[in-house]
Amino acid sequence: MKIRVITLEREYGSGGGVIADKLAKRLGWKLWDQDLTEEIARRLDCDCRAVEQREERRDPAYYRLFKSFMRGSHEGVQAAARMKMVDADCIREVVQKILPQIADAGNCVIVGRGSAYYLGNRPDSFHVFIYAPFQERVRRLRAAGKSEKEAIELAETVDRDRANFIEKYFKVEWPGRHRFHLMVNSGMGEDVAVEVILDTVTKCAKQRA
State residue 108's pLDDT score.
Answer: 97
Per-residue burial over 81-91, b if 16 or more Cβ lie within 10 Å, else e, is: bbbeebebebb
State residue 204's pLDDT score.
Answer: 87
State residue 72's pLDDT score.
Answer: 46
- Distance CA(79)–CA(26), nearest Å, equals 24
**In the chain, alpha helices (H):** 16-27, 34-44, 48-54, 61-70, 88-105, 115-118, 134-143, 148-170, 190-208
For domain 5-208, give the CATH number. Answer: 3.40.50.300
Domains of the chain by residue range: 5-208
- Distance CA(59)–CA(162), nearest Å, equals 15
State residue 54's pLDDT score.
Answer: 29
| Residue pair 31/108 in contact by the 8 Å Cβ criterion | yes
- Name the pTM for this structure: 0.79
- Distance CA(85)–CA(62), nearest Å, equals 10
CA 59 to chain centroid, in Å, comes to 21
Cα separation values, 38 from 29, 52, 73, Å: 18, 15, 11
State residue 50's pLDDT score.
Answer: 39
pLDDT mean by block of 10 residues, the chain; 209 residues: 93 94 97 83 61 32 56 43 53 85 96 89 95 94 92 88 79 85 95 97 83
| Residue pair 54/63 in contact by the 8 Å Cβ criterion | yes
- Distance CA(182)–CA(113), nearest Å, equals 18
Q: Which of helix, strand or coil describes residue 145?
A: coil
